Chain A
Amino acid sequence: MGMEWYIVRRVAWAAIVTFIIVSVTWGLMAAAPNPEVQKAATQAAMDGEDPAAAADLARQRAQLDRPLHERFMDYVVGVYTLNWGWSSTRNQPVTQALIESLHYTVQYSVPWTILTVLIGPLVGLYSAANQYSWKDHAATGFAFFGYAIPNFFFGIILLLLFGVQLRWIPIVYNTDVAVFSVENAIQLSVPIFVLVTGSIGAIMRVSRNESAEYTNADFVKTAKAKGVSTYRIYFRHVLRPTMVPLSTTIVGYLLALFTGSSLLVEVVFGIPGLGRTLYDAVIAQDTSLVLGSVLFFTFVATIGNLIQDMVYTVLDPRISFEDR
């Protein structure tokens, strides 16, 4: 019963979780009145026809008159064979719509994640190294500021400043520029800045508290006593044990931010990414696309949780697999 067995079980469980989520979303959708059927009925009533007959017809067209278990089986097979339906507002398959929006989401989330993971722990370490000095207070103040200011509000303010007043960035994201171009970097810099300030706060706090614990640990004192340089002490002896507890929370935390913030930031800055797609689909009542985006976000969350648990087991040899 070693690590391999634990990982196998964990992956199997992740697969079961996705199945449960797929079933729950289907149940929610099946229990609710279908907007397309309602639309057909309203249309018929306005045209002076029989709304009940029109509703029946729409139901037949949407294949809602078949027994529940058949519809469920079709749906599950569809989800796992990537046949996610047709988006009526975008006139393309849902999967293709999602891949197109992913293209834009990746452009800002990859730099965002890298910057957060790099800067967050370093600022925390810096703060712990200069504990209770003005440097620590400044770093803590910055972290709290970024953490407390709502991303969308901060985004609006910066857009007003840099977009409307100074005209450095376009007010609405320009999709025509190449991915790796200066223009793209400039227009993405503000959304990335907003997201990074929002996310490093919590990570900086955790890493500050964790590394503060190690700055006076015996092994650090020993290292100091035998003349190891300060940089080496902090990067080799303090940062590494700090990263273990941090790695257990960082993925889940970033994911929670990702689902919420990406939507807001994309709407504020007009980036046609995943969050924006979900938002537009909700507004336009495009059921297939709503379902597809929701599933996509939950899959990302499931995989993220899986990775987090894996990283934890690999990084920390002290944890035992017997009681998990």
Chain B
Amino acid sequence: MAADKQTFDEVDWGQITGESDRELSPNFLILLAGTAMLLLIAAFDYFFVTGTYDAAIGMDFGNQYTPTFDIIGWGYDVTQLDWLFAFSLLLFGAYVVLPLYQNPRMSSYYWREMKRNRPAMVSLGWLIFIFVIGVLGPVVIAAPRADLAVQYQPPVLLSIDTVYPIRCVGPVINGACQGTLQYPLGTTGDGKDIFNIIVYGMQISMKIGFIATLIVVSIGTAVGTVAAYAGGLVDEVLMRYVDVQQSFPTFILYLLILYIWGASLFLFVVLFGLFAWEGTARYVRSNALAKTEEEYIKAVQLSGASTYRIVRAHIVPNTASSIITDITLLVPTFILAEAQFAFLGLGDSTIPSWGVLIAAGRSDLAFAPWITLAPGMFLFFTILAFNFLGDALLDALNPEAEAESE
């Protein structure tokens, strides 16, 4: 801005108009740099790492398995979904984590508010645990592999009658096979390590949570704020479209789509992202409507800010609390939907997700209940944690709600 001691008539308005507005924030720069890097690696993956020739088997696998970072000796196959996941993490970092660091005063206030709520702190810890293990685990741990020789191994501290497993890895005491640390959570009927599947399942759940939510929040917020601020015909058209979307349950739509084209996790995430934002849009709209009546918006309008700037710089940040609360309630519904489809056997059968595991253990419930119970518990606690967190965030970000209730 111009020097402090100027009087009004001395200010060089031309200079100020020139320098203001289109200033790039560090958040945006980080996002831009990160996106550019992602695009570069993606381009590298697309143009140079196609159709690997597997020397061991002597076959060309085409696009089946293409370890992107083969050059540095890292055999991890980056899929379409991974790119989206990386991008959504980048956005999350630039626009959720970084702002918390940039505003230490508000962050410490939120932190104090959160700390008062013990279940929320436990939930936050649990979710961070799931997130870190889910993102890093699959990079280190090998993908779950079927091995019939080690089927139905019990988890640590539990045992199973020796008639069920072919061979018992741990010691046999009184005709019961004991669990070992080699398979801490036991194995499935086809000998897959349950612990491995759960770690991979964490990543899948986090991908669904982050990517689908990112799409939902972007579209929902854009539609909601624009409808509220623009009003008139724009509002009418957008909201009537929301009505249509609301009348076509996403669950049923996905069922129809997978019937026609087959299921894949990518399709699931994108479809739920693109067609499940009607609730968010309505919610944001009603919140933004209340905000457009506020004095500060009128003041910004009077000072000649553009519509885009009002929506982007004033309405969206001021509805952020309702958006964030909405997210924490949205993420578990997506994770649950994936588990439901997987359980029905209509999901992507190639992925090791929690729902697939729950379904796999269903027929063995009578003698090997851990196959279903272990992933079910993880699913339950994750959904529970999101709900507790959402509840606490509502109180922390929106002090008015608490003041009213007390």
Partner-B contacts on A (CB < 8 A): 13, 17-18, 20-21, 24-25, 28-29, 32, 131, 144-145, 147-150, 152-153, 156-157, 160, 164, 205, 209, 212-213, 252, 255-256, 259-260, 263-264, 267, 278-279, 282, 285, 290, 294, 297-298, 301-302, 305
Contacts and interface: CB of A to CB of B under 8 A. Distances in A.
A144 B388 contact: yes
A301 B339 CA distance: 23
Interface stretch (B4-12, B47-55, B245-253): B245-253
Which secondary structure dominates where chain B touches chain A? helix
Contacts of B376: 150, 153, 156-157
Q: Which of A18, A148, A259, A285 has the most CB of B within 10 A?
A: A148
Nearest to A208: B405
Contact of B255 (A13, A156, A160, A278): A278
A217 B290 CA distance: 22
Interface stretch (B70-78, B178-186, B213-221, B257-265): B257-265
B147 interface: no
Nearest to B405: A212
Which secondary structure dominates where chain A touches chain B? helix
Given A144-B388, A148-B332, A301-B248, 14 more contacts: A13-B240, A17-B243, A148-B384, A152-B340, A152-B358, A153-B372, A209-B401, A256-B251, A260-B337, A264-B343, A282-B255, A285-B259, A298-B249, A301-B249
A149 B344 contact: no
B247 A302 contact: yes
Interface string B212-253: 000000000000000000000000000010011011110110
B314 to A, nearest CB: 22
Interface of B: 240, 243-244, 246-249, 251-252, 255-261, 332, 336-337, 339-340, 343-344, 346, 358, 362, 365-366, 369, 372-373, 376, 379-381, 383-384, 387-388, 391, 401, 404-405
B339 A150 contact: yes
Contacts of A301: 246-249
B261 A156 contact: no
Contacts of A32: 260-261
4 shortest interchain CB distances as A-B pairs = A148-B384, A32-B260, A302-B247, A212-B405
Contacts of A282: 255, 258-259, 346
B387 A294 contact: no
B246 A150 contact: no
Nearest to B365: A160
Nearest to A258: B249
A229 to B, nearest CB: 24
A147 B387 contact: yes
